[in-house]
Amino acid sequence: MPKVFITGIGFITSIGNDSAAVERSLRELRHGMVAFPPFQRPDIPVKVAAPVRGFNTESHDPEDWTWPEPYKIRREQLRSLSPNGLYASCALAQAAVDARLTEAEISNDGTGLYAASGGSPGMLARLTNRMNEQGVMKCPPLGIVASIAGTVQFNLVAHFKIKGASTGFSSACASSSHAVGFAYDEIALGRQHRMFVVGAEDGNLETILPFAAMRALSLNPDPATASRPFDVARDGFVGTGGATVLVLESEAEMRRRGVEPYGEVAGWGQASDGHNVAISHPNGEGLRAAMERALRASGLTAADLDYINAHGTSTPIGDAAECHALRAALGVEAKRVAISSTKALTGHGLSLAGTMETAFCALALRHGFIPGSAHISRLDPICAGLNIVRVTQSAPLRTVLNNSSGFGGANVSLVLRRA
């Protein structure tokens, strides 16, 4: 089967809006958490979030939005965009430049796009309220395509004139990892020679706050410690938004264009817990199986792994389940393989998490470093026997693995290898 490589990355995140800024944050453990202004009300128990910088999408009228240079968004394009669609448009433009793609290489039958997003709950709520209060004919004509879960691929496929395969994925926090895996399959099976893979979320009050009802969000008001995966005092995740785009290409296409890849997507695996609609299997059974399948599909074993970017959201149950899964999947290698959760820096991006953290792994492969797992004051005893790396280390990496888990017990593991 043809090999598949990552040749371009675009970031709009809480820790930076380009690869250089993101790498600097990962190396220096700079987090993106703030006391989030929309949460500073007495009726909201959650106080911290990790917003993107340089964008203002607070207005209900997209024509009032602002975004940084050098991105150009046409007025007619804005009418069908949600905030996550704006972030994704900018990240895709950035990734295309990073991969040195021409317009003809972006728009052709051999280039497709897979995306993941939860849609725009705030926009959808406003649209529904307006319909009920003023009548449906008072609603904006493009309100549906701007707000429902497929909004990212609808807009990007149209605006970038994508002519290959396109669809969206909805498996909650595993969504964009599923998108990466199936995009890999498209190329490895010879159906496409290039795929854009997109993860994006609004990261605003309406996207994040509903998780408080599940008791899933941190109630810690201190931005410096609210997100602390694997710490004994962790009490939930911190929400974030933004977008990350990966460019995946076949080896033949990469060589034809003469570009240097970040790394190879060696394989992937997925499995389900079959346990609970919202809570991970206590022993991490599905995640263990996903990791084992990913390694098997890649022709590798745990002995080949150097680093794992854990799902590690900073929830008490989720982190504990992942620790069980890691010990089971790694076996005798558990004490050696470096493990960290970069969500200590970014917060949890929901559908965005998989592409964002796969891109972090790609940066680590190319530049030779292991991001530390920040904000751990006291390591939870549940992590016993695992090599949780608490400071960033310089290290030549050969093989890394990224984990993602979502509602319904969906688990995805992606393996990247140095090119």
Q: Is 125 helix (H, G, I), strand (E, B) or coil?
A: helix
Residue 218: C-alpha distances to residues 161, 171, 341 (Å): 41, 22, 16
Tell me the C-alpha distance between 68 and 94, whole Å: 12
Tell me the C-alpha distance between 373 and 369, whole Å: 13
Alpha carbons within 13 A on the beta-carbon side of 411: 33
Pick the closest to residue 361 from 374, 372, 370, 352 (CA basis): 370
Check 31, 159, 173, 178 and give the catalytic one: 173
Tell me the C-alpha distance between 148 and 150, whole Å: 6
Check 193, 324, 348, 375 and give the catalytic one: 348
- What are the two backbone dihedrals, phi and then psi, of residue 71, each rounded to the nearest 5 degrees? -70, 140
Strand 34-35 vs strand 111-116: parallel, antiparallel, or unpaired? Answer: unpaired
Token pair for 134: 């003023």
Token pair for 229: 């995966």
Residue 276, Ramachandran bin (φ over 0: left; ψ between -120 and 50: alpha; else beta): beta
Query: Is 311 marked active-site?
Result: yes
Query: Is 139 marked active-site?
Result: no
Neighbours of 274 (CB within 10 A): 10
The torsion angle over the Cα atoms of residues 33, 34, 40 and 43, rounded to 10 degrees, is 10
Residue 314 burial class via C-beta count within 10 angstroms: exposed 0-12, middle 13-18, buried 19 and up:
buried
Pick the closest to residue 369 from 340, 346, 348 (CA basis): 340
Query: Is 159 marked active-site?
Result: no
Check 281, 311, 324, 375 and give the catalytic one: 311
Tell me the C-alpha distance between 38 and 125, whole Å: 17
Tell me the C-alpha distance between 348 and 41, whole Å: 22
Tell me the C-alpha distance between 348 and 282, whole Å: 20
Active site residues: 173, 311, 348
